[in-house]
Amino acid sequence: MPLDRSSEEEPSTSSRTPLISIGLAILAVLMVPVFLYSVGPEGPIKVGDVVFAKDRHRVPMIDSQFDGKRKHSSMCFLEPRVQLVVQKIGILSEGSMIAEPIAIETADPPSCPPKMPVLVHAHQVTLKADLWGGLRDMLLHFFSGRG
């Protein structure tokens, strides 16, 4: 009784094919909302909105009695994708706003401390988080072995 090896391998090959196509379909379903979110319009920034720093920016720190006429006392650096809550809009010019960094536990001296109001401009912040940059940084951190 000769054994036909092609008949034994055929069911295992055919059983993998649906799993691959199902996995690709699930991946596509999960990626569509991410893509639509990243290409959608932003809208206007309002007081109370959470905005994200677009890049690393040097910004002035603001004291609580800031009236827009005095110069700022010190500067700090906002890191990319730092979350800020908008407190006031249009202080010095049309595109300027005072915002407080949130979701930062501690900050080293060149970085902006948490809950310290800073003066940012509209070109420095965005309403949408940078999903692709965050994903890239997460993968780099994961594969570099730093923990």
Average pLDDT score over the chain:
79
Compute the distance between CA of residue 94 and CA of residue 62 in angstroms, rounded to an integer.
18
Tokens of 85: 């809550």
Continuous segment of H or E residues that includes residue 59: strand 57-61
Tokens of 48: 């109370």
pLDDT value of residue 35: 81
Confidence of residue 147 (pLDDT cuts 50, 70, 90): low
The position carrying tokens 């609580």 is 64
Tokens of 121: 């401009």
| Closest by Cα among 46, 69, 54, 52 to 127 | 52
What residue segments make up the domains of the chain, in order of their start? Answer: 1-40, 50-131
Residues 11-23: tens digit of each pLDDT = 555 556 788 899 9
